[in-house]
Amino acid sequence: MTTSLPEPPYVVVIFTSRRTGGDQGYGAMSARMMELVKDQPGFLGVESARNAEGFGITVSYWKDLASIAAWKAHLEHREAMKLGRERWYEAYDIKVGTITSHRMFEAP
């Protein structure tokens, strides 16, 4: 869980996707992007889950819209996005917004 997030408000990117079949280099690139994104200015955290049918949700949290714009312009990320459209995704949605409240539960 993303317990290290600051108090809201902060910005969110919700990336939902349907993968094509097979790996085709996806696993390695995904790991590389997770590594890269952690060093981006304004990056606050990321959570990701994909089910057995290939439907996945990745939610990333950011300080502001400028941080997202810089990540979107990052050369290696641009190359990954290009390959994503060509090879790895049948379809995806990207939603951007602002988180205004956050509460947590942990079992005793």
Residues of this chain that bind a second copy (CB under 8 A)? 1-3, 8-9, 12, 14, 16, 18, 20, 47-52, 55-57, 59, 85, 89-107
The alpha carbon of 12 is separated from its chain's Cα centroid by a whole number of angstroms, namely 9
> Contact, 8 vs 64, CB < 8 A?
no
User: 12 or 37: whose CB is closer to a second copy?
Assistant: 12
For helices 26-37 and 75-83, the axis angle rounded to 10 degrees is: 150
- By beta-carbon proximity to a second copy, the closer residue of 76 and 93 is 93
- Smallest separation (angstroms) from a second copy to the CB of 28: 18
Min dist CB 43 to a second copy, Å, is 16
Using CA atoms, how far apart are residues 31 and 11, in angstroms rounded to an integer? 23
Residue 68 to residue 41: CA distance in whole angstroms? 9
In the block, tokens 């590389």 appear at: 32
Q: Give the shortest CB-32-to-a second copy separation in angstroms.
A: 19
Q: How far is the CB of 41 from a second copy (least distance, A)?
A: 21
Closer to a second copy by Cβ: residue 2 or 24:
2
